[in-house]
A and B are shown apart, each in its own frame.
Chain A
Amino acid sequence: MEPLLKVENLVTGYRTEQGLVKAVDNISFEVNKGETVCIVGESGSGKSVTSLSIMRLVDFENGEIIDGSIHFQDKDLASLSNEDMRSIRGSKISMIFQEPMTALNPVFTIGKQIMETFYFHRSYSGKKAKQRAIELLELVGINQPEERLKQYPHELSGGMRQRVMIAIALGCEPDLLIADEPTTALDVTIEAQILELLKTIKQEMEMSILLITHDIGVAAEVSDRIIVMYAGKIVEVAPTIELFSQTLHPYTKGLLESVPKMSGERGVELPSIEGTLPGIHSMPIGCRFAPRCHYKTEKCVQVEPPLENHYGHLAACWHAEEVRNGTLEKGETT
């Protein structure tokens, strides 16, 4: 089956005074129809830039797609003109942002912002657009939708605004929904509501979701497959259950271990990943995680490991099999 979205060898960079900086460096992945894929990574891993590249929103931030292709349906989004891209954005692919406070325009009513997409993509009449907007607000669980249409963003709470954002994103029944940290700014009880909402909507509308998050707990909860990114590279791709049960990459392993578990032993020292992300101007030549890795050998420092299939899922590590089997003794990082 042909995947819905196929990203190949994507390189996205930003032009800075110190020269070109590659925020995403040669990554490839797919999203299938009806699948929820999570990209997990810490700040600076390139996960948000990946989503902005797919939406072609990097162009507006001094960035550019330097190399690679983004196949969506039968088009290559990486080389599409801006006009053609506009007909896809918000219609075929739509996006939910992290900050529901700033993503909505404060000077327009909720109704106007929801209906805008229908005028643009669907050329609906005013009456039809309004009716559809009410349907959408009901779908995302906002009561008294007719009243809400006349309200401004500041009159709504954070959770409500995120629901409105989702309503806008779903307006044209997109095939792919990109959600960039959709619950990070929200409280846990509201986060639970939004995650449930995304799950039900996905089933009802048969769309694919690409969820960007730093919270491995959220990823574990909703995704079918997880992509782990580190310093602009994909380090591991696996079906969700497998990522946890058969971790192949030392970074993923470190990430999983460093989160306190709800059933773990309390008060003990947590395993942690020492050190910090390498600076974007001084990326290591070999494996980018090597300076912080317990398992590194000379080869890791010299040669970059390719993203390869081990035991049925992908990992970019020379020692993936030893990490999985736990046969390699942890050395000292120097």
Chain B
Amino acid sequence: MNVVHGTDHTQTPPSSEEVLIQVEHLQKYFPLKKKKIFGPPEVVKAVDDISFKIYKGETLGLVGESGCGKSTLGRNLLRLQEPTGGKVFLRDVNFTDLSKKELRSYRKHVQMIYQDPFGSLNPRFTVGQVIGEMLTIHKLATGDARTKKIKELLALVGLDPDRIDNYPHEFSGGQRQRIGIARSLALDPEFIVADEPVSALDVSVQSQIINLLIRLKKELGLTLLFIAHGLNVVRHISDRVGVMYLGKLVELSGTDDLFDHPAHPYTAVLLSTVPDADPAARRERIVLKGEVPSPINPPSGCRFRTRCPLATEKCAELLPELEEIRPGHHVACHYPLEEGESLKERISKNDKGAVNL
């Protein structure tokens, strides 16, 4: 029934075959205010029936445009929002079935890093309090042991441990993001969702934080879900990458395979639009017509079909399932691109075909 759970042999194998997180048919619907009294309530399907696995020790990148549901997915994985349907397993524990109380103690295994280094730290707490709060809530350390642990964490993320009594406003954006990372590490989690952790930072600071995340992942053996819209950043840091469009996972594959041989037309378009810092390599962009349709009334069938250069009637009628087309390369498209075939080639091939008919 669900192809994603078939055999997985990714081309760039994750550091272990052990599945840490398993997501099954996850849904998150947001109801809207009723416009008509008797009509059915309208819903925004922010995350619509998504299934995938995250292996222990890997970094899974998640890309997509704003409104595609990538952040919602991240939040629902950690149950910061309650999913409408579906299951999330952490090893063999069904995370979605835990009671509020059980969830609390389980939260220490899963943590989050937020995008906004200004909004995500309480301005009235010192850095020590921001990080130490976690230790207190989970009753892990008190007194001197607590101070020692906080200082260790600060040193770990490259901050001066003596600044433990400073307030967030005394730090720069990059330093604040380091504080946010230290906080997420305070409970020695296994799994971290990083939601656009570098998007709000300047380029030179961005690379510092990327380096820090890569280093921490290696040293602490973390598993990361890295959500971002910057494709170059995601490519750099991820072992595998998932692409989302309008609440659906449309492609999931090893990073090199995805970037070298995108199979979904949407991924191919996304890749062609990245402004690369190399003027010698100015490529021909494939510019999509129109914009992402509203998630309230998404198109029937494949959600990308309204903007897709390859769409046919079949795409309007039948929703493509996420299927494994090559080892470890999953795509939800009726007409996936072959390995080594570019979208441009396919479009011109289709055009010729039309003329011949």
Q: Which residues of B contact A220 (CB under 8 A)?
A: 275-279, 282
A216 at the B interface (CB under 8 A): yes
B211 and A269 contact, CB distance less than 8 A? yes
B355 at the A interface (CB under 8 A): no
B208 and A272 contact, CB distance less than 8 A? yes
B280 at the A interface (CB under 8 A): yes
A231 at the B interface (CB under 8 A): no
A187 and B172 contact, CB distance less than 8 A? no
Q: Which one of B172, B175, B275 contacts A221 once the chains associate, using CB atoms below 8 Å?
A: B275
Chain A: CB-nearest residue to B307: A189
Q: Nearest-CB distance from A223 to chain B (Å)?
A: 8
Q: Which residues of A contact B278 (CB under 8 A)?
A: 220, 244, 261, 263
Contact with A along B274-298 (1 / 0, CB 8 A): 1111111110010110011000000
A254 at the B interface (CB under 8 A): yes
Q: List which A52-103 residues lie within 8 A (CB) of chain B.
A: none
B288 and A189 contact, CB distance less than 8 A? yes
Q: Which residues of A contact B172 (CB under 8 A)?
A: 276
CB contact under 8 A between A260 and B204, given known A192-B285, A276-B174 = no
B204 and A244 contact, CB distance less than 8 A? no
Q: Nearest-CB distance from B285 to chain A (Å)?
A: 5
A109 at the B interface (CB under 8 A): no
Q: Which one of B66, B235, B256 contacts A260 once the chains associate, using CB atoms below 8 Å?
A: B235
B219 at the A interface (CB under 8 A): no
Q: Nearest-CB distance from A231 to chain B (Å)?
A: 12
Number of A residues with CB within 8 Å of any CB on chain B = 44
Q: Which residues of B contact A216 (CB under 8 A)?
A: 203, 277
Q: Which one of B174, B205, B269, B276 contacts A261 once the chains associate, using CB atoms below 8 Å?
A: B276
Q: Which one of A193, A259, A272 contacts B287 once the chains associate, using CB atoms below 8 Å?
A: A193
Residue among B232, B271, B276 facing the most chain A CB atoms (10 A cut-off): B276
A258 at the B interface (CB under 8 A): yes
A126 at the B interface (CB under 8 A): no
A241 and B280 contact, CB distance less than 8 A? yes
A331 at the B interface (CB under 8 A): no
Contact with B along A156-186 (1 / 0, CB 8 A): 0101100000000000000000000000000
19 extra interchain contacts, Cβ-Cβ under 8 A, other than A266-B237, A276-B174, A276-B175?
A187-B292, A188-B231, A193-B288, A195-B275, A196-B287, A216-B277, A217-B232, A220-B275, A221-B275, A244-B280, A245-B280, A259-B207, A260-B233, A262-B235, A262-B259, A262-B276, A272-B204, A272-B211, A274-B208
A-B residue pairs in contact (CB < 8 Å), sample of 13 = A42-B203, A189-B287, A220-B282, A244-B278, A258-B203, A258-B206, A261-B232, A261-B276, A262-B231, A272-B205, A272-B211, A276-B174, A276-B175
Chain A residues packing against B (C-beta within 8 Å): 42-43, 157, 159-160, 187-193, 195-196, 214-218, 220-221, 240-241, 244-245, 254-256, 258-264, 266-267, 269-274, 276
